[in-house]
């Protein structure tokens, strides 16, 4: 069996030093004639570099860690696609950790990655206050870290996020143009920056058009899931419907609300226009298809990964993406809703008297 060519074999055939071959392979400067000769020799010998040896020489592991609450989150699935695209270009592997894999928050695996330097860097998706110890540990050992759509202000790490305030303003302009004047918002707990910024943009955009978002029409859901949206909707639809549009802080929440609305006989958008945030692909499959403010999630994943490799070289920066309103069938002019008399929804007799939603929407 022929012996596999090594970097020394390439150097001998090309008549150059091993260090010159190494510079060529690592993309550093080599004169054009030498570059051409090395390219021809490598092709003739069928040489392929050992990435294990390369990573060892650079003091790297050849993989990054990606951390999220749940890898089943549809938003994260889109983000991960972009991360994988960029990793393929760097011949780098991926280690994945769901912090709530078994239904209980457990960051122990990620702490071990950091402590033992088992990864070359970390990408944390939707990091919260509870991830502060993880971020602090990564910074303390100078492990390159990127956070994507963080739920609080972070420092000393790369940040990739969207302009959620502008996204909320876009929703306000859209609903106001359709004639909506009584609008409700349901979002996430107070710690969520994305939710707060979406609400802030919506409120300021409406105020600029002479429309007040009443405090009684702002609700909080326990989480971003469709199940939480459904639980909120069960309470929301138990009272007379006195708004013409409902804005949800995430598409997942909107999916849960729309399911309950259909069960309760609420016509969308004739009785109630619905808007979500994130632009998940599933929104186009609903009936009616969901109007949503889209995040470029694949691009965010790709850029987060790219920024991580930039960080390996010492460069730090904030990257903020614009959001785009995707108008579909779940929003329509409010004329019909304004013209109707107060609508009382039919509630199953075994549920008792109607009751308004709780302060937290649960």
CATH number, position 119 = 3.40.50.2300
pLDDT single digits (tens) 24-52: 776 667 888 888 888 888 888 887 765 55
* Domain span including residue 15: 7-49
Q: Is 115 inside any structural domain?
A: yes
**Do 214 and 330 have their domain in common?**
yes
Instruction: Looking at the structure, tell me whether residues 281 and 333 fall in a common domain.
Output: yes
The residue with greater pLDDT, 190 or 71, is: 71
Do 23 and 121 lie in a common domain? no
**Averaged pLDDT score across all residues of the chain:** 85
Q: Reply yes or no on whether the pLDDT at 302 is more than 60.
A: yes
pLDDT of residue 309: 80
Q: What is the pLDDT of residue 345?
A: 38
Give yes or no: residues 203 and 344 share one domain.
Answer: yes
pLDDT single digits (tens) 156-178: 788 999 999 999 999 999 999 99
Residue 275 lies in a domain: yes
Q: According to DSSP H, which parts of the chain are helical?
A: 7-14, 18-25, 32-45, 51-58, 74-90, 108-115, 132-140, 164-177, 193-207, 226-236, 251-264, 297-312, 335-339
Q: Do 253 and 330 reside in the same domain of the chain? A: yes
262 plus 302 within the same structural domain: no
- Read off the pLDDT of each residue in 181-185 and give the average, rounded to a whole number: 97
Give me the residue label for tokens 């956070």.
147
User: Is the pLDDT higher at 319 or at 153?
Assistant: 319
CA distance 169 to 177: 12
Residue 151 lies inside a defined structural domain of this protein: yes
What pLDDT sits at residue 11?
86
Distance CA 229, CA 362 (A): 9
Q: What's the pLDDT score for residue 343?
A: 41
Q: Look at 153 and 94; give whichever has higher pLDDT.
A: 94
Residue 269 has pLDDT above 60, yes or no: yes
154 lies in the same domain as 186: no
* Number of domains forming the structure of the chain: 3
Question: Do 312 and 285 share a structural domain?
Answer: no
175, 275: one domain: yes
Question: Has residue 1 been placed in a domain?
Answer: no
- Within this chain, do residues 173 and 280 fall inside the same structural domain, yes or no? yes
CA distance 231 to 234: 5
């Amino acid at each position: 069996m022929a012996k596999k060519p090594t970097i020394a074999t390439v150097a001998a055939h090309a008549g150059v030093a091993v260090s010159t071959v190494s510079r060529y392979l690592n993309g550093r400067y080599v004169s054009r004639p030498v570059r051409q000769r090395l390219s021809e020799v490598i092709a003739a010998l069928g040489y392929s570099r050992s990435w294990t040896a390369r990573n060892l020489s650079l003091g790297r592991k050849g993989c990054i860690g990606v951390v999220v609450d749940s890898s089943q989150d549809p938003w994260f699935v889109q983000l991960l696609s972009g991360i994988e695209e960029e990793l393929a270009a760097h011949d780098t592997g991926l280690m994945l950790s769901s912090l709530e894999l078994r239904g209980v928050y457990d960051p122990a695996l990620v702490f071990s990655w950091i402590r033992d330097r088992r990864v070359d860097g970390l990408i944390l998706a939707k990091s919260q206050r509870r991830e502060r110890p993880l971020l602090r540990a990564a910074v303390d050992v100078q492990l390159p870290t990127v956070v994507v759509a963080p739920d609080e202000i972070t420092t000393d790490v790369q940040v990739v996020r969207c302009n959620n305030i502008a996204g909320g303003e876009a929703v306000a302009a859209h609903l106001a143009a359709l004639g909506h004047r009584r609008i409700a918002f349901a979002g996430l707990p107070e710690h969520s920056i994305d939710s707060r910024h979406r609400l802030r943009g919506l409120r300021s955009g409406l105020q600029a058009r002479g429309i007040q978002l009443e405090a009684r029409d702002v609700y909080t859901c326990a989480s971003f899931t469709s199940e939480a949206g459904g639980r909120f909707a069960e309470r929301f639809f138990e009272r007379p419907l006195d708004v013409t549009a409902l804005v949800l802080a995430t598409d997942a929440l909107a999916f849960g609300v729309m399911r309950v609305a259909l069960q309760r006989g609420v016509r969308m958008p004739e009785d109630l226009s619905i808007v979500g945030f994130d632009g998940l692909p599933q929104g186009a499959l609903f009936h009616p298809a969901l109007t949503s403010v889209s995040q470029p999630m694949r691009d965010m994943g790709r850029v987060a990964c790219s920024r991580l490799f930039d960080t390996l070289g010492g460069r730090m920066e904030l990257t903020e993406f614009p959001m785009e309103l995707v108008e579909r069938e779940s929003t329509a002019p409010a004329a019909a809703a304004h013209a109707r008399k107060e609508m009382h929804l039919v509630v199953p007799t075994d549920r008792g008297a109607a009751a308004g939603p709780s302060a937290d929407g649960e």
